[in-house]
Amino acid sequence: MSVYRDVLIVTDVQNDFCPGGALAVNEGDAVVPIINGVMKRFYRVVATQDWHPRDQISFASNHAEKYPFEQVEIGGIVQTLWPDHCVAGTPGAAFHPDLDTDRFDLIVRKGTNPTVDSYSTFLENDKKIKTGLDGYLTSIETDRLFLCGLATDYCVFYSAMDAVSFGFKTFVIIDACRGIDVPKGNIDRCIADMKKKGIQMITSTEW
């Protein structure tokens, strides 16, 4: 497979995950210039967006006497509760204004189901319902995926782990990611788990 069919997945670089947003990731906006700089190297660029309905099950506001960052079990799935964020059609759900969206070939919106959250850009959290991204990637005959964006220990992590499960050789551009680190130490744990799965950690200057 030619390296010219490598695909970049730009994960959730949205206003609500950047400083001043409803679920701000520390230095979340620092990934923007790095991502802009690497996009031209790829055969295709896929961007993902959290695109939640207001009644999304992962919002703490939709659970009586629950607070952001608490964990609950819903339908057998352990769910972290979040502040309301990336509500469909709101400014918080929009891409960061400095992100070069003209280079996007495909936008995958996730978390649109009110009854189950979706961290991964491949599958909802029930691990059953597909977004369709795997079919798109297969149709363009790529086998190498490079992930970046927000957040390292949630949507980047789950997307990368699913990418391997779908048979793609997977890389994470670690300097083009930032994490939430909830609970404390989660970033390091997720990086270790990705490495165990065979996912390679690289920087934007390494290839």
Q: Mind listing the domains of the chain with CATH numbers?
A: 3-53+85-202 (3.40.50.850)
Residue 155 is a catalytic residue: yes
Residue range 102-122: mean pLDDT, rounded: 95
* Element housing 137 (H / E): helix 133-139
Q: Which one of 12, 16, 84, 162 is the catalytic residue?
A: 12
The string of pLDDT tens digits covering residues 144-190 is: 999 999 999 999 999 999 999 999 999 999 999 999 998 899 999 99
pLDDT exceeds cutoff 90 at 3: no
Q: Which one of 6, 16, 50, 110 is the catalytic residue?
A: 110
pLDDT exceeds cutoff 50 at 10: yes
Q: Tell me the backbone φ, ψ of residue 124, rounded to 5 degrees.
A: -70, 170
Residue 177 is a catalytic residue: no
Q: Which one of 18, 86, 148, 155 is the catalytic residue?
A: 155
| Whole-angstrom distance, CA of residue 151 vs CA of residue 173 | 12
Global confidence as pTM: 0.94
Residue 86 is a catalytic residue: no
The string of pLDDT tens digits covering residues 126-137 is: 999 999 999 999
- Strand order across the 106-110 sheet: 106-110, 44-50, 7-11, 144-150, 169-178, 200-202
pLDDT exceeds cutoff 90 at 2: no
Per-residue CA distances from 82 to 14, 29, 145 (Å): 16, 20, 28
